[in-house]
Homo-oligomer: A and B are copies of this chain.
């Protein structure tokens, strides 16, 4: 393993000079710089991460805490994770992957050991148990998701309340008066995941404002669960003509079931999905949808974090505005029969 000292010797300069060439924190003559760079290349030198971290108390690592459960939005999570890793690299950071398993302990461990300089938390619950510790430390952090109390925190998220409102608006505008919401699995609501509740709030509020009737039903993904849920909904409100689907894995089953019952999309019923664009265009009907901008969220989170690490930027909540893309799954409500 090549060390700084060896490079210095090879280039005929002192170790500190090499260090300054690397960091650029002091001016170095062009000749010397070139000579050092040459030696680095020839010897194939890579600075030792541990020594660096020890001497500078900076690890150049960002910890990313992803949820352990895979009961929702797996592709979204993955996409965010990749976006975070990619964005972090462009700023010279590597990403440490933590699963939610250890919970608050992981946060303490990583902070305490100086393993990472900062962290990004995903799947934040409204009253997340990791938050008190995060507020109490000066380790920079960014949440992807929105807890109930955001004071002293930086958060990045899609504006799910606006997303809900947007979906209702779109359907209402098309004349739908009875809208059913296929929500996330009950477990998601039970642990008070912010985005699910906010979406619902947005849906309800706007529905009320527009005088539209709304029926919300949580639903596990999959065909069978969707079949049961749909039957109940149509039983309770046969006049339903608009659907908003939040649970990605319920989308395709819903479409199949509706078709099977002889309800044409979008002639008889309209469906709006909240899902990644890729899902929306790959479905059996090109879905009118509000996209979940995973990439953008990941990138934003890293940028906020790097800003904090550089002493720029402060606590703030970044809500990304939802955009509704009209495709082939929504249309005017059928004339009342």
A interface residues, Cβ below 8 angstroms from B: 1, 44-54, 57, 59, 61, 64, 66, 68, 70, 74-75, 77-79, 81-82, 85-86, 89, 94-99, 101-102, 108-109, 111-115, 221-223, 249, 252-253, 256, 281-284
Contact = CB atoms under 8 A, between A and B. Distances in A.
A49 B89 contact: no
B64 A82 contact: no
B97 A221 contact: no
B222 A282 contact: yes
Taken together, the copies of this chain in the complex come to 2
A207 B301 CA distance: 51
A74 B81 contact: no
Nearest to A44: B112
Given A44-B112, A74-B75, A51 B49 contact: no
Given A78-B70, A256-B284, A282-B222, A98 B113 contact: no
A223 B47 contact: no
Given A52-B50, A102-B89, A109-B46, A95 B97 contact: yes
Nearest to A78: B78
Contact of A101 (B89, B96, B109): B89
Contacts of A284: 223, 252-253, 256
Instruction: Please indicate which of the listed interface residues A47, A53, A77 has the most CB atoms of chain B within 10 Å of its own CB.
Output: A53
Contact of A115 (B49, B54, B57, B252): B49
A61 B66 CA distance: 17
Contacts of A97: 64, 81, 85, 94-97
Contact of A70 (B47, B79, B101, B253): B79
A101 B109 CA distance: 29
Contacts of A57: 50
Contact of A78 (B74, B101, B108, B111): B74
A249 to B, nearest CB: 6
Contacts of A59: 49-50
